[in-house]
Each structure stands twice: as C-alpha cells, then as structure tokens.
Amino acid sequence: MLRLEDVTVRFGGLTALKDVSFAMGAGEILGLVGPNGAGKTTLFNTISGLVRPKTGRILFAEREIGRLPLHARARLGLGRTFQIPQPMHHLTVRENLTVAQVFGAGKADAARVDEILEVMELSQHAERNAATELALQELKRLEIAKALATNPKLLLLDEVLAGLESKAKRRFVDKLRELHERYKLAIVIVEHDIETISTLCSRAVVLNFGQMIADGTPAEVFRNPAVVESYTGAADA
Amino acid sequence: MLELLQQSLFSGLLVGSVYALVALGIALTFGAMKIINLAHGELVLLAAYMAYVIESRTGWNPYAAIPLAFVVTGIVSVVIYLLIERIREHRELNSLILTFAIGIILTNAILLVFASDVRSTGSPFLQDAISLGSVYAMKGEITAFIISLAVMAGLWWWLKNSWYGRAVRAVSSNRDASMLMGIDPRRVELAAFIVAGILASVAGVALYTMSVVQPALGPGLTIKAFIVTVLAGVGSIPGVFCAALLLGVTEAMTVTLASSALQELVGMVLFLLVLFFMPNGLFGARARRG
Amino acid sequence: MRSLPALLILAVAIAVPIAFGGNSYVMGLMVSGLIVAGVALAWALLGNLGGMVSFGHAAFFGVGAYTSAILSAKFGLPVPLALLAGACGAALCSVVMLPALRLSGPYFALAILAYAHIFKILATEATSITGGSAGFQRFPPLPTILGLDLSSRVGSYGLLVILVAICAAIYLAVKRSHVGTALRAMAESEDATRVVGVNATLLKAWMLLLSAFITGLFGAMNAHIINFLEPDYAFSASWSILPIIAAIFGGYRTILGPVAGAVLIYLFDQIVAKELLPVGHEILLGVLLAGMILIAPNGLFGMFQRKTAKGAAHAAA
C-alpha cells in the first residue's frame, strides 16, 4: 500500500529525514514513534505532499506519488489529519465533509456524509461553524471525518490523541479500531503513548533524528535498546 | 554607439539613486506595518511640487524647499498612518485600497492646485551640464545623486544606531517578540512612516531638480518603487540601492536602444520576471510568498 | 434571490427606459453605467470568490475591446461573435497572468497592474494591428436583431441589462456550487482544502478566467457602442479604478452591490463631480472610496445584508 524508499528531506542545512525506508500493507495499522523533533510530522508532510523530498521515492498502491501535488494524492486515497486541527474556515461541519467528498472522493453523497457524521459522533454539530464553534475534541473528530469523506485507502493520523485524558483516549482508540474495520483502512498513526501503540498497532516504526532506528511489532520495537535510549535520553534533555 | 551606451549607463545610475530613496520609503513602511503605501509616489510628487513652489515664489535654489517638503509630507504621512490605524478587519487588503484612494486624492489635489502643466527647475546652476570624461551630466543630476547617497547613509546609520531605528528593524523582523521586549509597535510604525516621509521629500525635491514633474506621475513612481523593492528582495539598503540603479540603467538603455515608449515596459517586464522566477529578489534573503 | 434589493433593482432597470427612453443623454449615461457595472461585477467576483484583489482589470477591458473591434472590422466577423471572441481574448490573456496566482495579496494586485501597463503599451506600439495611438474607428456597431436596433441607446441599454443579469446569475450559480463553497474556505484555510483534494490553484485560475471573460465582454460591448477605440481610452486606468470604487461602495461581498454601486458612482461622477470640478473630479471619488473603507467597508448592500442576517438569527433563536 505505502512504500518509502530512501527518502531524504533537507531544509536548508538541516537534514530532517535521512534515508527513510519502510513499507506497509493494506490492512495494517502502523505506529510512528519517536521523540519530539525526530521528524515524524515532516515524514507525514512528505508523504502527503506538503514537502518535497530531496531524494528517494514514495509509492502509494504501487504508484509513484513523489511528484504529485497535495490534492492529487488526496484523490488517490491518501487521507491526512493535522496535529493542530485545521478545519475549513467559513464553512459548517457538514460543508467541510461535503467539500472533502466532492473534491476528494469525486462526487457528493449526502447519505454517506450523514453516516460519517454519525460514526464520528458529530451529527448534532452538523450545522455549526467548523472553525469557530467546536471544542477541541470535536475538532479532532472533524479532522478524521473530513479525511474519511474523501474515501481514503490510507489514513495518516498525526497525534490525534494529544491533549486527551486517558478515558477519552481509550474511547478514541476504540473508535479508530472501528474505523479500521468498517472502512478497511490502512492507518499510520503518530503517537507517543506506548500503551496505545501496543494495543492498537500491528507494527511500529521508530524515528530518531530523522532516521529509522527500528521496525517491527510494538513488542519487539519497545524492547530494542536503541529505542529505549532515544526515549529516556529525550526525557533527560 | 558605445558612447551613447556609456551615457545612458551613467544617466541611469544617477536617476537610479533617486529611485532608491523612493523605494526605501515604501520598504520601510512595509517592513514596519506589513502594508504597502500606494500613495507613496504621490508623497514624493508633493515634495517635488513644494520645491516648485519655493523656487517660483522666492527664486531660491529648490533644495531650500526641503524643510517645507519635510513638514508637508510629514503631516500627510501622519494623517495616512492614523487613517490606516483605524482599519479593523482585513488590514492588509483594506489598507491597500485605502492608500490607493489616498493616492487618487493627492494626485487630483495636486492637479487642482497646480494644473496639469509640466514643471521643472529653472535654475541655471542645476541645468548646467558638466562633462566627466566622455559622459555628460547635469549638475542637478550629480547633486541629486550625492544627496541621495548622503541620505541613504544617514538612513543606514539611523537603522543601525538609533533607538527608533533599531526598533523598526526589530518590529520588521518579529513583531510579537518585539512587543514582548516592551516595544510599542504603534510608535515604531509612526516613526517608520515619518522617516519614509523624509525620504520621500528628499526624493521629490531631487526629482524636481533633475527631471520634469506633472500631476500624473504619482502612480508611476509608486510602481517603480515597488518594482525596486521586489527586485531587491527583503533585506538590505545596499540591495535596494543596487536594484534601483539596475532599474535606472535598464530604463535608460531601453530609451537609447529602443524607444522611450518601451521605457515603462521594461520595468514591468523586469518586475514580472523577478516575481516569478526569483521571488527572493536579486539580493534578498527571505522568501516573499504567502 | 427573491429578495427586496433584487426586485428593487429590477424595477428600476425597467422603469428607466420607460421614463427616459427618449432622452439620449440619460440613456447614454445609463449605458455607460451598466458597462462599469459589468466590470465591477467581474472584479468583485474575483475578489470575493477568488480572494484576489486586482488593480489591473483595464487590461481585460482593453483586450476585449480591441479583439472584438479588430475581428469585426478587419476579418468581417459578425458582431455578436466578435463580442464573444473579445471575451475569450481577454480570458486568454489572463492565462498569461496565471503565474501571478502564487503571489500573496498586494503582490498579486500589483502584478496584474504591471500586466495592464504592458498590454497598454503593446497596444500602442502595435500600430499595424491596432492603429496605435491614433485610434481606430470604422468598425461595425451592434446589429439589429428581431427588429430591435441594438445600436440605439435603448437597444444597447436593454442588451446590457440582460448581460449584467446573466453575469450576476453566473456569479450566483458559482457561489452556490460546491466550487463556491470550496472557494469560501480557501480564503483562510487553503491548505486544509488541498489536503482533502481541492485543486486550489485550478479553482482560482477559473475565477481569474471568468472575471477576465466578463470584463472583456463588457469592454467589447463598450467598443461597439461608442464606435471608437484608442489605447489610452481602452486601457485607461479608469476602467480599473471605477469598478473598484463601485464594488466597494455597493458592497463587494454581495452580487448586486457592485452593480448598483457602479451605476450610482458613475452617475455621481458624471453629473455631480464633473460639474463641481471639471478638472480633478476624481478627487471626490477618492474621498468616497477612502470614506467607505474606513466607515463601511462592506458597502451599502453589505450593511443591509448584515442587518437582515441579524434579524434572521434573532428569529431563529
């Protein structure tokens, strides 16, 4: 489904990602882990198209997307949420989903919009102004709802659980699992919480200073001494 | 032919120095407030007409008009600043339209008071040409060049050493941080506007001494100043100076090699080329887009 | 749009020829006012939907005018087709401007201004095609269709009213479409729209083309109505400036605002301003524009809309 080969990203003199390579299949839930500043968001930005890599290839469903602009990747089925929710301004929640649907999935389907609203528990907020009238949790759900409206095959979730306390987190994780099964989505999720990764993900990839230092099941990865060091090292700093 | 080119090169350099002054004025207000003052060209023109007034009324050298020009452009600058301050929403675009309107008001005010006749200095000293090697220059042009350099040096010193000057630089590069340092952005903005007015007044008087003025020149000056700032990119006074000289020289060459009608065209084309292919400007450091 | 302002405007539009049909001067004013209205509509569309303020619409106006005049005079194209060709010509010339879409607000506005200057100078220099600064006359006026002489004052008035209405309808249709919704979001959250598949650049390009097309159409109409063309006139800055003032005065976030504003401003300029100050009358327009931005940036119709919106919200609550 998604494959990166030797992706390197540089910003001026700073190397944000170096020779990152991994692959994931259609049904997987992949956890992307690493201390702050490791390059996780940059990796997402590169995959979704906000950033162009210096070298390397990005293949989505066996198709090279490195040259495609953002919107084209979205139309191919690559959905993405932002860490700080970015709703579309001046539009209601429903309109947010409709626009995503029309431009991302190809045509309007009001029934499906209603369905997504229900699944993401946003039905009662449907007519509210997305940018000004929603609380943080609702905004996060909207982020995912928007991405869902584009009929994605792969969902990139950037720290969707940040800022939630543990009960809300668990509910969200259950919701993600529900989405994964219901819509047959592949998911890549950036997360700090080890427990979440272990329970939700079938695989985990660890980044540190822009480089991959581990790739395997969560259990394997969190036993890896290099990974442990990157976490505790970061905690000291 | 070579001599013609040399001449146009030289004349272009001299004119370019005045363009630099005008451009620095626009750049200063843009840096401090992030708005473009579309009436800036009219301020320069206003100053030029003040020089005309002084010369025609008293017979003194037009440069004696500089104090009057300071006062007039200073007052108008402050008024413009206060009006811009009152804009609540969509500051960037609304101030663009507001200064656009003010430009129209000033142009027509000048037209009403001075009529559309073309004016230029009658001073024989300034019109006298001297030769430097194989090129000629009017004394007016040389004086303007020297004074422009002096003013630019003064500006450079001010930005580097005076409190307000450094505050302007601080606000230009990071407004929020400078507020945290206790800098009141409004005072700094006002200072920037006033200094821009000073630059405009010198440029205007210089313009009067080396060229002709008429009420319709306002928008053209603003556009040239803008072209220069785009060519130069964000950053330094030397950059603006070089870009202004480049514009002056290119225009002069076009007049010599092609026709005077294409003079304006070349500036526009240069502008667009740089905007599209070198958005950082020829000498600039930071990106300009978005 | 079964709203009061729309019906009012329609009523006035119908009443004018009935009351003043015989008065050539008044009808002439209305015709010119409608031309400005068309351009103001196009400008507002670009500003409102496209999110781009332009200072150079005169470019589209002039290109439309010259394209239509040249095609009808030198190539014998029937005037209705020439008008459309003029509009297409203007749209084509906006394609050249597409790179400017990448620029932010003020830079875009001034880039378009630069283009306008370039086109004007090109038109002046290409004397063999355009007749240069000497001007260009001898091209056919509007034809007679179904017994209606469209070149008469009343005839051209009627045609213009219909054209303005059609353009307003197109504007409304776009605004209400999914494209319009996406454009609304793009103003402040362009990346958010891109991420869900909106080709933001393409949509903005379409708005630029549409705005240019409409402006070119009215430029072409104007050429055939006054039957005279020269670069300083066709590309005059007034065609950039008046629509801006009209749109801001009338309310550039509304559809009918620019239309009403244009007619009012044009009449004001011709009847009041030019009488008071034959030279420099533009100063009054400048004052008006500055005043509107400071006091009522949403224009006349904008203020009206605000009030009714508040009323509706009150009723719903």
| Per-residue pLDDT tens digits for A48-91 | 888 888 888 888 888 888 888 989 999 999 999 988 899 999 99
Smallest Cα distance from A152 to chain C, Å = 10
State the pLDDT at residue B286.
Answer: 45
Does the beta carbon of C264 lie under 8 angstroms from any beta carbon of chain B? no
Residues in chain B: 290
**Taking a C-beta distance cutoff of 8 angstroms, is the pair C77, C71 a contact?**
yes
**Chain A interface includes C3 (CB < 8 A):** no
Query: Helices B139-161 and B2-33, interaxial angle, to 10°?
Result: 30
DSSP label at residue C304: H
pLDDT classification of C316: cutoffs 50, 70, 90: very low
Chains that touch A (3 or more CB pairs under 8 A): C
Measured distance CA(B10)–CA(B192) in Å, rounded: 32
Write out A34-91 in H/E/C secondary structure: CCCCCCHHHHHHHHHCCCCCCEEEEEECCEECCCCCHHHHHHHCEEECCCCCCCCCCC
CB B57 within 8 A of CB B50: no
C183 close to A (CB below 8 A): no
Q: How far is C179 from chain A (nearest CA, A)?
A: 8
Please provide the size of chain A in residues: 237
Q: Which among B230, B264, B289 has the least Cβ separation from residue C121?
A: B264
Beta strand A14-24 pairing with A154-158: unpaired
Contact of C172 with chain B, judged by CB distance below 8 Å, is answered with no
| C-chain residues near B86 (CB < 8 A) | 294
Q: CA-nearest residue of chain C to A81?
A: C195
**Considering chain C, what is the average pLDDT of its residues?**
85
Taking the CA of residue A132 and the nearest CA in chain C, the distance in Å comes to 13
CA dist B35 and B94 (Å) reads 10
The pLDDT value recorded for residue C306 is 57
Confirm or reject contact between C181 and chain A (CB < 8 A).
yes
Q: Inspect the interface and report whether the beta carbons of C199 and A69 lie closer than 8 Å.
A: yes
Over residues A119-146, mean pLDDT: 88
Neighbours of chain B (3+ CB pairs under 8 A): C
Q: Is C185 on the interface with A (CB under 8 A)?
A: yes
Q: Which residue has the tokens 């259609």?
A: A26
> Which neighbouring-strand residues pair with A206?
A33, A214
A110-119 and A93-100 helices cross at what angle (nearest 10)?
Answer: 120
d(CA B135, CA B266): 24
Give me the sign of the Cα torsion angle B195, B199, B204, B209.
positive
Residue C73 vs residues C137, C219, C225, C228: alpha-carbon distances, Å: 9, 16, 14, 12
Q: Please tell me which residue, C126 or B228, carries the higher pLDDT value.
A: B228
Query: Considering only CB atoms, which residues of chain A are within 8 Å of chain C?
Result: 48, 50, 69-72, 74-75, 79-80, 82, 86-91, 95-96, 98-100, 102-105, 108, 131, 146-147, 149-150
B83:C290 CB<8 A: yes
Residue C219 pLDDT: 95
Contact call for residues B62 and B202 (beta carbons, < 8 A): no
> Which of residues A103 and C308 earns the better pLDDT score?
A103
Return d(Cα B22, Cα B13) in angstroms, integer.
15
* Residue A21 phi, psi (nearest 5): -135, 130
For the stretch A188-216, pLDDT in tens is: 998 888 888 888 888 888 888 888 888 88
Sign of the C-alpha dihedral computed for residues B164, B170, B174 and B178 taken in this order: negative
Q: Which residue has the higher pLDDT, C311 or C117?
A: C117
Pairing of the two strands A55-60 and A63-64:
antiparallel
- Provide the 8-state DSSP code for A88: P
Widest distance between CA atoms in chain B: 59
Question: How far is residue A162 from each of residues A137, A140, C141, measured CA to CA in Å?
Answer: 10, 10, 69
CB proximity under 8 Å: B 253-282 to C: 259, 261-262, 264-265, 268-269, 271-272, 275-276
| Dist CA A177 CA A58 (whole Å) | 26
Residue C237 binned pLDDT confidence (cut-offs 50, 70, 90): confident
Half-sphere exposure of B108 (CA within 13 A, CB side): 19
A99 to C191: CB separation less than 8 angstroms, yes or no: no
What letter represents residue B65's amino acid? A
Tokens of A126: 């449907």
Under 8 Å between Cβ of A183 and A115 = no
Tell me which chain A residues have a C-beta less than 8 angstroms from the C-beta of C194. 69-71, 74
Residue A235 pLDDT exceeds 60: no
Q: Give the distance from CA B136 to its chain's centroid.
A: 25
Q: Could you tell me if C104 lies within 8 Å of chain B, comparing CB atoms?
A: yes
Q: Let me know if chains A and B touch, i.e. at least 3 Cβ pairs under 8 angstroms.
A: no
Here the ipTM equals 0.85
Q: Which runs of consecutive H residues, i.e. helices, occur in B86-236?
A: 91-114, 124-127, 139-161, 163-173, 175-180, 185-210, 217-232
Whether residue A176 contacts residue A126, with contact meaning beta carbons closer than 8 Å, is answered with no
Is A88 in contact with C193 (Cβ distance < 8 A)?
yes
What's the token pair of residue A30?
């992949």
Nearest chain C CA: its distance from B131 CA (Å)? 34
Q: Testing the interface with C: which of B29, B93, B259 to mutate, by most C Cβ within 10 A?
A: B93
Instruction: Dig out the tokens for C81 from the structure.
Output: 């087709």
Q: Which residues of chain B have pLDDT under 50?
A: 286-290
Whether residue C100 and residue B116 make contact (CB cut-off 8 A), yes or no, is: no
Q: In this complex, do B98 and C290 lie within 8 Å of one another by their Cβ atoms?
A: yes
C-alpha span between C296 and C298 (Å, rounded): 5
**Closest CA in chain A for residue C184:** A90
The enclosing H or E element of A80 equals: strand A78-80
pLDDT higher than threshold 90 for residue C143: no
Residue A19 pLDDT exceeds 50: yes
* Max CA separation in chain A (angstroms): 51
pLDDT at B267: 83
**CA pair distance B229, B279, nearest whole angstrom:** 11
Q: Which of B86, B108, B84 is nearest to B97 (CA)?
A: B84
For every residue of A197-220, DSSP letters joined together read HHHH-SEEEEEETTEEEEEE-HHH
Q: Tell me how far apart the alpha carbons of residues C139 and C222 are, in angstroms, rounded to a whole number.
A: 12
The pLDDT of residue C211 is 96
> CB contacts < 8 Å between B and C, how many?
114
Mean pLDDT of chain A: 85
Q: Which of C56, C119, C80 is nearest to C221 (CA)?
A: C80
As given in the structure block, the two tokens for residue B133 are 């090697």
Question: Strands, E, within C80-229: which ranges?
Answer: 144-145, 148-149
CB contact under 8 Å between B108 and C282, yes or no, is: yes
Q: Which of C182, C184, C196 sits opposite A74 (nearest CB)?
A: C196
List, in order, residues 6 or more apart from B11 with CB less than 8 Å away.
Answer: B135, B137, B141, B248, B252
Contact C283 B109 (CB under 8 A): yes
Flag whether residue C197 sits within 8 Å of chain A, measured between CB atoms.
Answer: yes
